[in-house]
Copies of this chain bind each other. A is one copy, B any other.
Amino acid sequence: MDKTFISERFQELQDEICSTLQEADGKLIFKEDLWERPNGGGGKTRIGKEGSVIEKGGVNFSAVHGKTPEKILKALKLEEADFFATGVSIVLHPFNPFVPIIHMNIRYFEMSNGTYWFGGGIDLTPHYIIEKDAVFFHAMLKRVCDEADNSFYPKFKTWADDYFFIKHRNETRGIGGIFFDRLNENSTRKNKSELFDFVFNVGKTFCPIYVELMKRNRDSSFEDHHKKWQKLRRGRYVEFNLVLDKGTKFGLDTNGRTESILMSLPPQAHWDYDHIPEENSKEEKSLKLLKKGIDWVNFEVNA
């Protein structure tokens, strides 16, 4: 269970996800940019544009190494250490406003002093919240968590609610999902190999989830006002990623590859001053569900 093994499995996962998404979409083609990090390592950025379902999507792999950034050293009270970090990151922006935006990330970090941890998660950002899809999404996440440890889903679901919260809007970014960081022997009851299995299974569950959500909603009919709402919600996605997301901030602060980091941004976004949805509209109903603490697995779906 060394870093080479982990980064190889992550690369295989990237390949598998790209081909599954291309097939499910029917028109999408990922183009690859190989890049090198000046201070060590590199990545494979794969971007697909203008598919039949996915308007813009990125499925990135990276494995970088070098001197540990000051920020992390300080937080861990270390003087100096080399680091190695590898991960897979995905953001998909669909064309149809009834298909949700999805984000997935799994990552592994280790340092020359022996410290290591896994992190990651999957979260969903529907422009319009379709309750039965939200229940399906969370049930799938609960299943993959429960296979590893019954304590994981409630803990990581709450973590996602807290992490993907846009304080200045008093809204969650979407319906959450799971988020976890710094998992190792000290923070869990699992050993390294069990934690790898869990994280890798989270990665493996991405396609079954999103392919199903694509299938359910790709042919939903929509009008201009639905597209307008989608672009407003994409604006909120931009606000979260640029103001609050720690990964984005860290990447930009440490001279990461800007185009790979900002592949998460939507193709377009829209801002309208003080936009308030009409009473009892689908938009208002969705907005009311952008709250922390909703028990989606046991949510009673309105017919």
Residues of A whose CB lies within 8 Å of any CB of B are: 33, 47, 49, 56, 58, 167-169, 231, 235, 238-239, 242-243, 249, 252, 255, 258-259, 261-263, 265-274
Copies in the complex: 2
Given A33-B274, A274-B33, A274-B259: A269 and B238 interface contact (C-beta under 8 Å): yes
Question: Are B243 and A252 in contact, with the CB atoms below 8 A?
Answer: yes
Question: Are A268 and B270 in contact, with the CB atoms below 8 A?
Answer: yes
Contacts of A271 in B (CB 8 A): 56, 262, 265-269
* Closest partner residue, chain B, to A235 (CB atom): B265
Out of B58, B242, B274, name the residue touching A273 (CB < 8 Å).
Answer: B58
Out of B235, B243, B259, B267, name the residue touching A270 (CB < 8 Å).
Answer: B267
Contacts of A58 in B (CB 8 A): 273
Tell me how far the C-beta of A259 lies from the nearest C-beta in chain B, rounded to whole angstroms: 5
Q: How many Å lie between the Cα of A265 and that of B238 in the bound state?
A: 11
Tell me how far the C-beta of A103 lies from the nearest C-beta in chain B, rounded to whole angstroms: 16
Contacts of A267 in B (CB 8 A): 270-272
Out of B243, B258, B259, B269, name the residue touching A268 (CB < 8 Å).
Answer: B269
Question: Are A49 and B239 in contact, with the CB atoms below 8 A?
Answer: no
Contacts of A261 in B (CB 8 A): 168
Q: How many Å lie between the Cα of A272 and that of B167 in the bound state?
A: 28
Contacts of A272 in B (CB 8 A): 267
Contacts of A33 in B (CB 8 A): 274
Tell me how far the C-beta of A268 lies from the nearest C-beta in chain B, rounded to whole angstroms: 5
Question: Are A252 and B47 in contact, with the CB atoms below 8 A?
Answer: no
* Closest partner residue, chain B, to A33 (CB atom): B274
* Closest partner residue, chain B, to A263 (CB atom): B273
Out of B47, B49, B167, B239, name the residue touching A242 (CB < 8 Å).
Answer: B239
Given A242-B239, A268-B231: A273 and B259 interface contact (C-beta under 8 Å): yes
19 contacts between A and B (CB under 8 A): A33-B274, A47-B273, A49-B273, A167-B252, A168-B258, A168-B261, A169-B258, A231-B268, A238-B238, A238-B242, A238-B269, A239-B242, A243-B249, A263-B273, A265-B271, A267-B270, A267-B271, A268-B268, A268-B271
Nearest 6 CB-CB pairs, A to B?
A242-B242, A265-B271, A168-B252, A47-B273, A168-B258, A259-B274
Tell me how far the C-beta of A49 lies from the nearest C-beta in chain B, rounded to whole angstroms: 7
Q: How many Å lie between the Cα of A267 and that of B49 in the bound state?
A: 23
Known: A235-B265, A238-B238. 6 other contacts (CB 8 A): A33-B274, A239-B262, A265-B271, A267-B270, A267-B272, A269-B271
